């Protein structure tokens, strides 16, 4: 990691959306953990009536913060410190003045150009120096191995400094792709992180994937977020899937095949080329150009 860069000493924005971008709730889980750990405040709620399709992201009935029964609406919220220069923990446990912001909520269903323009305005208002986009994809990977995280950037300087790749994917894209393009063209450096979540457990939250994203974002940004129970939760998640596989010979056999395929890769984290290929295969499946179980589940819509 470079000694000085906008990612490790500037005002940082972390962006994650619920939906197909968020297999196993890994990306949104990371974003909300950062909000809670750093004590960030709600600075702006974006207009749900303009951006959210409530037939797709339905409101729920529940208990409100004041203890009364009411409607809880899906919300896209920008969080940040109440005052500039909030104290966060850096590498080695040192405490430094650092502004970290988070944008999280359901993926907007419409008016993406207007949404991107509004986010770009907020980036300017809050003086953001760098943006990290976080997502999670369903992939043909075993739950028993380290969760791989594909790192890419469209910024040549960022790629050189961090030795990361530029995605060569071409095809339909989602709001993360749109925002990344808009922000990069504005001159703000960006990095995109995508965790690979085993497709055969797509209905359950994946704390192991959240933990991998947290490790990666910490290594890139020099911002340390307490793990809390996340390590134990990740272990319990893996043990729970082991128990299911123990009672299902077909599932156990399939997981064994995935393990063998992963173990042929040079490093436990998998090479950049392998992860990039995995990402592109996922996108092709999701766009209907390739078959496979990884295209099943709630994250099939367009990127």
Given 3-state DSSP classes, what are the helix, strand and coil percentages for the chain, each rounded to the nearest 5?
Answer: 40, 20, 35
Whether 146 has a pLDDT exceeding 60, the answer reads: yes
Sequence-distant (6+) residues with CB within 8 A of 114 are 50, 51
Q: What is the DSSP letter of 117?
A: H
| Interval 268-280 mean pLDDT | 57
pLDDT tens, 172-193? 888 999 999 999 999 999 999 9
Identify the structural domains of the chain with CATH numbers, from first to last: 6-295 (3.40.50.10900)
pLDDT tens, 68-125? 888 889 999 999 998 765 555 555 555 455 799 999 999 999 999 999 999 999 999 9
| Cα 190 to Cα 13: distance, rounded to the nearest angstrom | 10
Tokens, residue 232: 């134990």
Strand boundaries in the chain, DSSP class E: 12-18, 41-45, 60-63, 69-72, 77-80, 87-89, 95-97, 100-106, 130-139, 149-152, 190-198
């Amino acid at each position: 990691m470079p000694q000085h860069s906008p990612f490790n000493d500037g005002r940082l924005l972390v962006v994650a959306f619920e939906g197909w971008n968020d297999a196993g709730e890994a990306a949104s889980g990371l974003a909300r953990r950062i909000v809670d750990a750093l004590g960030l405040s709600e600075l702006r709620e974006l207009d749900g009536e303009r951006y959210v399709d409530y037939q797709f992201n339905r409101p729920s009935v529940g208990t409100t913060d004041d203890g009364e029964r009411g409607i809880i609406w899906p919300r896209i919220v920008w969080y940040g410190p109440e005052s500039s220069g909030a104290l966060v923990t850096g590498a080695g446990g040192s405490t430094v003045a650092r502004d970290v912001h988070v944008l999280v909520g359901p993926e907007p269903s419409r008016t993406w150009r207007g949404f991107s323009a509004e986010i770009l305005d907020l980036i300017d208002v809050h003086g953001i120096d760098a943006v990290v986009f976080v997502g999670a994809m369903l992939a043909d990977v075993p739950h028993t191995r380290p969760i791989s995280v594909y790192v890419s950037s469209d910024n040549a300087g960022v790629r050189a400094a961090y030795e990361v790749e530029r995605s060569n994917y071409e095809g339909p894209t989602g709001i993360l792709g749109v925002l990344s393009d808009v922000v990069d063209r504005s001159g703000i450096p960006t990095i995109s992180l995508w965790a690979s979540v085993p497709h055969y457990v797509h209905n359950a939250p994946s704390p192991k994937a959240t933990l991998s994203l947290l490790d990666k974002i910490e290594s890139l940004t020099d911002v340390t977020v307490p793990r809390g129970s996340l390590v134990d939760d990740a272990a319990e998640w893996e043990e729970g899937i082991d128990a299911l596989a123990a009672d299902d010979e077909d599932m156990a056999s399939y997981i064994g095949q995935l393990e063998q395929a992963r173990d042929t890769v040079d490093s436990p984290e998998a090479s950049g080329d392998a992860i990039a290929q995995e990402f592109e295969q996922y996108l092709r499946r999701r766009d209907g150009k390739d078959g496979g179980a990884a295209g099943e589940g709630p994250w099939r819509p367009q990127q």
